[in-house]
Structure 1
Amino acid sequence: MQQFLALTSPGIEILLAQELKDLKAEQVVQKPEGVYFNSTIEHAYHICLYLRLATRVLLKLGEGDAANKEQLYTAAKSIAWSEAFSVDKTFAIDFVGTSDEIRNSQFGALTVKDAVVDHFRELNEERPSIDKSAPQISFQARLLRDKVAIYLDFSGRGLFKRGYRENTGAAPLKEHLAAAIITRSGWLDDTTKPLVDPMCGSGTVLIEAVLMAAGYAPGIDRVQWGFDYWLGHQSEDWKSAKSAAIEKSHVGLTQLKTKVFGIDLDSRVLKTAQQNAKNAGIQRFIEFSCKNASEMKNAFGPKGTILFNPPYGERIGELPELVECFALLGQKFKSHFINWRVAVLTANVELLAMMKMVSFKRYKFKNGPLDCQFAIYNLDEKQVASSNVNAEFEQKDSAFANRLLKNKKNLKSWLKQEQVQCYRLYDADIPEYNVAVDVYADHLVIHEYAAPAKIEPEKVAKRLQEVVYFAPKVLEVPTDKVVIKTRSKQKGKDQYQRVEQSKKSMVVDEYGAKLKVNLWDYLDTGLFLDHRKTRQIVAKKAKNKSLLNLFSYTGSVSLQAALHGASTVTTVDMSKTYLSWAEDNFLLNNLSGHKYQFIQADCLQWLKNNEQKFDVVFIDPPTFSNSKRMGESFDVQRDHVSLITDGLKSLAEGGELMFTNNKRNFKMDFDAISALGLNVQELSDKTRDKDFQRNKHIHNSWLFTRKAN
């Protein structure tokens, strides 16, 4: 009788322990690191062939003290390695665990490897070769509380890989986790009842379910095993165990009376699922259809199980459609699937609340690095009676929805009169809903501000989902045109950070100007909405005059000035990307020629060196920057006087300098400004348009002119 250790993912251990007991393993003991069991080698072959819930099975070779390197080496040296594998076979050592003396796995593995090599050398044999990527035989040393146990990787890595998956969807579910949620769902208690996966992806859940219902041994399709080159391998016993498993599995499929159903919106993924089912030899048991899960009808029969692993919205841009989908699914389940069971695995637990159902069981699992919950619902008469089946979330009950609707009505006449296409509708008006909602033509951008640490993450997520649910409904915007961005205070970085790289863009209109905006790739979109009036003020001042636009970003101020008839426009920014964007904006409006200059430079240094004079100078610096290319840090509160001083050097006689920033509680140094011989006029109120009247701190604006001599 030998001791083994079966490994699996967190949350599955208790199910694996029961599976091992059902397979007649002896002395099964569940521990945090895995499930220990005893078995003969002959029976261990049978166990490996049938295990569905394990990722690997290890055979214990020995153990010993390992408080330090010397003890670890001694323990490893005590193993009769030459009885485990031949010197002409490549090997690898995995090392798991650390201690005060053995602080990383690489050091531990190297120590064990030295013991293996020395063992063979002392037998006057050649040194065996190491192959970390594809060894012929593998071993694992596991360090726990200054003790090391050394194992043969008996099954080989990836025991969950069944061999039928040629391709997977974007977020594949590993087969052993699929088997775990099928087990937890309860469907295996009566596999004659229908099983439906409304978001089946590449079909893993359904394929595993059919194979489990048939009692099919997943190991019979596995080509390589960890014991293939083990000297203790009993090949005849292995052949016998495999032959028996093959015969029993084929009989199980022949006798199976099961029909399961897979639904997915993506036809390409469905083709993959169909091919995977064909590879598994069970395509006749699965009926696939291409449709939206929220539009499915119950044509499957009574009292079945709906089991699915939806997208988690890990990429925040997926949330709008997921939130709406879950709300619709809840209505669908309660109206069309009475007396059914619904089981959902998700890492986005807050999404479950959108279904308006009460779970009777929940289990914790890990899907790769993600913490997940598996929620099970019984759609009995009590569940259905406790909620209004046809009701969506009540808009009248949402403070956020009500405020959004109120703001929309307040801005309606202004929007029509001014023909404003891009505007802010909501800006954290209610502290509990800490977001900003911007409209860009037929798109919606929701900026989620970082919540205070004292607010529980679950509450934050729930409120965001309420925002994501109601915003498109109140504004009648399709969910695929809703973009979500998460903002936090930037420390030591420029605020214009790239978040994705979709390279998507759209063109919007502002007082006749065509402007390219990108709602997807950056935290900011390329158009500062709060500076709408600022752009018009600068543009009117620059008519028939020369304009210098510093820290120009995407050049929207420059563009409006050019369209208003500025004689020359010089646009300066350090970013090549934003300058190119600015040039795109000019081309969109058929503006080109020597009158328009675009200069990539550090604005601070450029100002110090510039000798050209301009009638209008516009400066809109970041609040803070320590960009490497600038060579020095910049703080608008600390450095604004020196920046304005340098700006004056580029200002022509009788010219005007406009200075803006968005630092909250910014304090202008009036004494220093007066010493520069300047008149100063605050324009903050005049540059805030109607949609930003609620936020008095959105930006600060000042106009400087030289005092008359």
Structure 2
Amino acid sequence: MLNYFAACPRGLEGLLREELEAAGAENVKETVAGVSFSGTMETGIRTCLETRFATRVLLALGTFYAGDDINFYNGAYSLHYEDYFDNQATIAVDFNGKSDFIRNTQYGAVRIKDAICDRFSRLTGHRPSVDREAPDIRINAHLDKKSNVTVSIDLSGESLHRRDYRTGAGAAPLKENLAQAIISRSGYVTGNVVDPMCGSGTLLIEAAMKAADIAPGLLRRRYGFSGLKNFDASLLARLKANARERAEAGKKRLKAANIRFYGFDSDPAVIARARENIQKAGLDELIQVEVSDIHSLRNPFPESEPGIIVCNPPYGERLGNFAELLELYAALGNRIRSEFPGWQAGIISSSSDLLSCLRLRADRTYRLFNGALACELRTFRIKKDDAPGAESENSVAAESTDRTVPAVSEAAQDSQSEMKAIIAEDFANRLRKNLKKFRRWADREGLEAYRIYDADLPEYAAAIDLYGGYALVQEYQAPKSVPEKTAHQRMLNLLAAVVQVLEIPGENVILKVRERKKGDSQYEKLDETRRTLLVREYGISFIVNLWDYLDTGLFLDHRLVRRMVGEMSRDRDVLNVFAYTGSASVYAAVNGARSVTTVDMSRTYLSWARDNMKANGIKNPRNVFVQADCLKWLKTCPDRFDLIFADPPTFSNSRRMAESFDVQRDHVALLRDLVRLLRPEGVIVFSNNRRNFQLDAAEVSGLGLDIEDVSLRTLPEDFSRNRKIHCCFVLRRKSARFEDAERNS
């Protein structure tokens, strides 16, 4: 009797154990990421050919204690490798595990290899050669936490999840043994199968193979056991012949019962690859696929008995496309309810939030792993009496769980059945009202970028800005008094309502989380899509980036400030310092400024400012762009200006600055430097976004400046709810004598 270990992904151990027991294996014992069992050599070969869940089948040669390097080598040397292969075979060694003296897997593999070669050299005078890429024999060695090493021969060769029917796959191919787990855990035995997002067809092919009793390894050309010294090729031939007979009989049985497998996908190229895979698997008479998006999903078997839906929709590991996926899952749930009453469904995702957006009540939940990614498989029964959109058990969101047991307990199911789907109707109604109001206003004003919601309802704490056909949702950090799960669920409902009310594709909704930031962190890069849009504001074009930074390149609350700067700029030399992407510079140039000097510390934003100028056809050679520490530059600049616009950060401690800057603490010193650059009849427009900022009127007046607070006058209609969003002051010279006094000093 030989001892084996069948390795599998986590979450598949129970299925693999049941499969081995049904196949007649002995001493079957489930453990982490695999199952041990006993049997003859035929048992091991048949398992390689017929397992639907294992990735490898290992024939154990022996186990020994390896407390130190000497014991390790001697234990490896003592095993009878010559019983299974000779010195003409090429070998490779895979090792996993660490101990006090085995610090890396490469060292462990080399020591095992040395022991094998030394043993053959002593016994035969000739050692096997090493071939890491395509060896005749692959040795597997595992060191456990108790310093026990088990050495095995890998009978599989290439991983058993590869069935050799794939000619191509989509962007995120599903491993075949995980596909079998989805199918089996979903309760499928036989009957019609639909995959609404079939990709390269893996779920459909695996379901058909299960229903037709087709051995998964039937198409494979080589196994690891073929390199064994006493390999019986006739045994494998008999096993394959038997498997072919069963496969043909199974396919005939399915065709006679009119059982079919149908898949949809929106990508024609992916569907073409699926057809190639299906044909190579020999299942083109049973499986049909067609190009169709999720919104057009239909039941291809309306007259047949209810079957099963299996689906592996996109998971959306990145938060940025979450709204798009939310819409997709919601649409999937709606189409399933509408088209497939009475059916069963099994849907897998790494996001319990997205699964909840299906609005289907889960019967059971299983934890599976797609590679290293933890996933949930939820299974559903679609009620026959459910009308689309009707209140029912199927409209209840499945509860997000963190269970380690395979399935949901009955108590948990009862708890889920009592849950009610939280629909953000109050938020949706407010958003509709705001949209109607601000869209009319924006059309009159000639604005393509504006705010339509700013935490109007405290429980939905977010700001929503429209940029052409895109919506930017900026979630405010929830207070500590609000449970994280509650805040998260509210945001999910908010996003669902945004997609519904604004009637824009989910992919055009961008979600960001705003926290209290210091220094230049508001400008830090979040992504690198390099996607940009061009939006119009009062007839002027601006480039915005909704994806890569926390801010977009255009401060919407400063819209009237920059327009005011533009109106004051005709025939003037203008300085825009702390310029960011130069939007005020563009206004000045468009309105006839004699020259515009744009100063910022960031090379990226200065380049952006130049592009904004180009987008408006501005080519004045007098316009200057300066990359510099603004505070240091102001102290050394020899030029004078008629109009200075300064919108400094609230706080900055950038490593590129000599000192930190706090606008409340340092604004008088900043204005003193600005006054030095101001011509006798000059004007300073000074703004910032610090809440509760207090201008030191006495000190500023002492600089020879008249003060006009225009904060409310420059507050746009779409920011009227937040009167402290920014402050703005127009500062003018009191009289020419201050210029004379400055020259005399």
Q: When the two structures are superposed, what TM-score results if normalisation uses the length of structure 1? A: 0.89
Equivalent residue number for residue 243 of structure 2: 245
Contact 1:567–1:595 (Cα < 8 Å) also in 2: yes
Post-superposition Cα deviations, 1:596-621, rounded to whole Å, max 9, x if no partner, equal: 22234443454444322222233334
Counterpart check, 1:372 vs 2:370: no
Structure 1's 494 and 24: CA in aligned 2 closer, same or farther, altered over 3 A?
Answer: same
Counterpart check, 1:565 vs 2:565: no
Contact 2:648–2:687 (Cα < 8 Å) also in 1: yes
Where in structure 2 are the equivalents of 1:208-607 lying within 5 Å? 208-231=206-229, 233-257=231-255, 258-300=259-301, 301-381=304-384, 387-388=390-391, 398-409=425-436, 411=438, 414-451=441-478, 458-488=485-515, 494-607=521-634
Post-superposition Cα deviations, 1:18-59, rounded to whole Å, max 9, x if no partner, equal: 111122111111112321111211221011100111112222
Counterpart Cα distance in 1 of 2:296 and 2:689: 47
Q: Which runs of 5+ in 1 are unaligned?
A: none
2:221 counterpart letter in structure 1: V
Post-superposition Cα deviations, 1:611-653, rounded to whole Å, max 9, x if no partner, equal: 2222223333445556566577666567656655554554444
Contact 1:155–1:227 (Cα < 8 Å) also in 2: yes
Counterpart Cα distance in 1 of 2:450 and 2:116: 70
Deviation at 1:577, TM superposition (A): 3.6
Moved more, 646-655 or 32-41: 646-655
Counterpart Cα distance in 1 of 2:520 and 2:290: 49
Deviation at 1:152, TM superposition (A): 2.2
Deviation at 1:202, TM superposition (A): 1.1
Counterpart Cα distance in 1 of 2:603 and 2:245: 67
Contact 1:494–1:626 (Cα < 8 Å) also in 2: no
Deviation at 1:197, TM superposition (A): 0.9
Structure 1's 581 and 227: CA in aligned 2 closer, same or farther, altered over 3 A?
Answer: same
Counterpart Cα distance in 1 of 2:294 and 2:708: 59
Give aligned pairs, total. Answer: 706
Counterpart Cα distance in 1 of 2:429 and 2:634: 49
Structure 1's 545 and 223: CA in aligned 2 closer, same or farther, altered over 3 A?
Answer: same
Contact 1:555–1:582 (Cα < 8 Å) also in 2: yes
2:294 counterpart letter in structure 1: A
Deviation at 1:681, TM superposition (A): 5.6
Moved more, 106-115 or 358-367: 106-115
Deviation at 1:296, TM superposition (A): 2.9
Deviation at 1:285, TM superposition (A): 0.6
Root mean square deviation of aligned Cα: 3.5
Contact 2:49–2:216 (Cα < 8 Å) also in 1: yes
Structure 1's 455 and 4: CA in aligned 2 closer, same or farther, altered over 3 A?
Answer: farther
Counterpart Cα distance in 2 of 1:680 and 1:66: 83
Contact 2:15–2:53 (Cα < 8 Å) also in 1: yes
Counterpart check, 1:44 vs 2:40: no
Contact 1:396–1:402 (Cα < 8 Å) also in 2: no
Counterpart check, 1:615 vs 2:642: yes
The secondary structure found in structure 2 opposite 1:140 is strand
The secondary structure found in structure 1 opposite 2:227 is coil
Equivalent residue number for residue 75 of structure 1: 75
Structure 1's 678 and 261: CA in aligned 2 closer, same or farther, altered over 3 A?
Answer: same
The secondary structure found in structure 2 opposite 1:530 is helix
Counterpart Cα distance in 2 of 1:642 and 1:125: 88
Contact 2:446–2:539 (Cα < 8 Å) also in 1: no
2:365 counterpart letter in structure 1: R
Equivalent residue number for residue 95 of structure 1: 95
Moved more, 575-584 or 172-181: 575-584
Counterpart Cα distance in 2 of 1:559 and 1:385: 52
Counterpart Cα distance in 2 of 1:69 and 1:336: 65
Equivalent residue number for residue 23 of structure 1: 23
Contact 2:295–2:335 (Cα < 8 Å) also in 1: yes
Deviation at 1:526, TM superposition (A): 2.1
Contact 1:350–1:458 (Cα < 8 Å) also in 2: no
1:20 counterpart letter in structure 2: L
Equivalent residue number for residue 169 of structure 2: 168
Counterpart Cα distance in 2 of 1:579 and 1:632: 22
Equivalent residue number for residue 57 of structure 1: 57
Q: When the two structures are superposed, what TM-score results if normalisation uses the length of structure 2? A: 0.85
Counterpart Cα distance in 2 of 1:698 and 1:158: 59
Structure 1's 371 and 395: CA in aligned 2 closer, same or farther, altered over 3 A?
Answer: closer
Deviation at 1:513, TM superposition (A): 0.7
Contact 2:155–2:224 (Cα < 8 Å) also in 1: yes
Counterpart Cα distance in 1 of 2:390 and 2:326: 19
Deviation at 1:455, TM superposition (A): 5.5
Counterpart Cα distance in 2 of 1:12 and 1:326: 25
The secondary structure found in structure 1 opposite 2:557 is helix
Contact 1:570–1:597 (Cα < 8 Å) also in 2: yes
Deviation at 1:568, TM superposition (A): 0.6
Out of 201, 211, 228, the residue aligned to residue 203 of structure 1 is: 201
Moved more, 91-100 or 155-164: 91-100
